[in-house]
Amino acid sequence: MSTVEERVKKIVCEQLGVKESEVQSTSSFVEDLGADSLDTVELVMALEEEFETEIPDEEAEKLTTVKDAVDYIESHSS
Amino acid sequence: MLEGQVVLVTGASRGIGSAILERFASAGATVIGTATSESGASAIAGRISENGWQGDGVVMNVGDAESVTEGIKTIGQKFGPPTVLVNNAGVTRDGLAMRMKPDDWDEVINTNLSAVYRTSQAVLKGMMKARTGRIINLSSVVARMGNAGQMNYAASKAGIEGMTRSLAREVASRGITVNAIAPGFIETDMTRELDESQRDAMLSAIPAGRLGEAGEVADLAVFLASEGAAYINGETIHVNGGMYMN
């Protein structure tokens, strides 16, 4: 079973079309990985699907780095 | 020409929607037509199988969010996510503005305009993933010209044109186009109900001197869904025999 971080990184690579080596835990989706606003919406939707959770808009806005996403999912999964 | 495309046409029982279903099916697409009743949906399904087309009829009330979500889920499971959405379903509740009832306003806005928001949102996820897709919205010439007795209908159609342009800007970078077709007077059950004097008055305003055929609208929808139309985006194209020119 992959860790949450591995699964998040895999989704980030798929959605943003970046290589796994480019994705660090501190990478910012917009500044480091070149995501535009539509990419971030798609990314959040992909995370919701993968982890079977719903991320409210006001929380989704705060997820700017890989670590933010991992922390959010870990603290919101049972 | 459109083999492998999964085309969802709302309001496909009669008139323009029915013609759109037929032209897409003839172009090789898998076609799914919606109707508000079970009997309507099975009539569409029957027509599809009689003609040897690929596809099905589905019950969907575009005025109801849950019905749209459920319907699109069912289609996705059976045929895969729609690659082309034709928002055709529409109603009229005509009456002069001074006497228009709130229900007549609300129903037209909900069924004609809010429905386009619901269905478009529901299919966009699949299109974004696929990095391609076509949304084609049926407007009307009255969106631009206005029409006495159709304040609600004209507002809903003008709203569709604004939605078309906004959505086109949002999703263009993902290979998705969103366009509108604005038919003028087309031979349908609705226009056949008019009496001779109304018909004559209508014809005198149309340079072509005749009403349009539903197929003449449907052919444009097929073109907009084709690869050749990939660079047309956010546009409203009029099909009205010259009755209204931009």
Provide the residue ranges of all domains of chain A, joining segments of one domain with +. Answer: 4-76
**Which chain A residue lies closest to B125 (C-alpha atoms)?**
A42
Residue by residue, pLDDT tens for chain B (246 residues) are 899 999 999 999 999 999 999 999 999 999 999 999 999 999 999 999 999 999 999 999 999 999 999 999 999 999 999 999 999 999 999 999 999 999 999 999 999 999 999 999 999 999 998 999 999 999 999 999 999 999 999 999 999 999 999 999 999 999 999 999 999 999 988 778 778 888 888 899 999 999 999 999 999 999 999 999 999 999 999 999 999 998
Q: Does residue A48 belong to the interface with chain B, where contact is any CB pair within 8 Å?
A: no
CB B234 within 8 A of CB B164: yes
**A and B: number of Cβ contacts within 8 A:** 8
Which residue in A32, A36, A39, A71 is the catalytic one? Answer: A36
Q: How close A13 gets to chain B, by Cα (Å)?
A: 14
> Chain A, 7-26: which have a CB under 8 Å from a chain B CB?
none
Question: pTM value?
Answer: 0.92
Tokens of A8: 């998040």
**Beta strands B133-138 and B84-87: pairing type?**
parallel
Q: What are phi and psi of B81, to 5 degrees?
A: -65, 140
Backbone φ and ψ for B224, nearest 5 degrees, come out as -60, -25
Dihedral sign for Cα atoms in the order B92, B98, B99, B105: positive
Contact A38 B174 (CB under 8 A): yes
Contacts for B101 with CB less than 8 Å, ≥ 6 apart? B95
Whether chain B has a CB inside 8 Å of the CB on A1: the answer is: no
What pLDDT, in 10s, does the model give residues A38-65?
A: 999 999 999 999 999 999 989 999 999 9
User: Which CATH number is associated with domain A4-76?
Assistant: 1.10.1200.10
A-chain residues near B174 (CB < 8 A): 38
β B133-138/B176-183 pair status: parallel
Q: How far is B180 from chain A (nearest CA, A)?
A: 23
Q: Tell me the pLDDT band of A78, cut-offs 50, 70 and 90.
A: low
Distance of alpha carbon B127 from alpha carbon B122, whole angstroms: 10
Give the span between the Cα atoms of B12 and B14, in whole angstroms: 6
Contact B188, B15 (CB under 8 A): yes
Q: How many Å lie between the alpha carbon of B158 and the closest alpha carbon of chain A?
A: 26
φ, ψ of residue B32 to 5 degrees: the values are -120, 120
Asked if B231 is an active-site residue, the reply is no
CB A60, CB A72: distance < 8 Å = no
State how far the Cα of A9 lies from the Cα of B236, in Å rounded to an integer.
Answer: 41
Q: Are B15 and B190 in contact (CB under 8 A)?
A: yes
Instruction: Give the amino acid at A6.
Output: E
Is A5 an interface residue toward B (CB < 8 Å)?
A: no
Q: Does the beta-carbon distance from A42 to B128 stay under 8 Å?
A: yes
Q: Would an 8 Å CB–CB cutoff place A36 in contact with chain B? A: yes
Q: Report the chain B residue with the minimal C-alpha distance to residue A43.
A: B129
Q: Could you give the CA distance from residue B102 to residue B55 in angstroms, rounded to a whole number?
A: 38
Separation in Å, CA of A68 to nearest CA in chain B: 24
Question: Token pair of B161, please?
Answer: 């044109």
DSSP B212: B
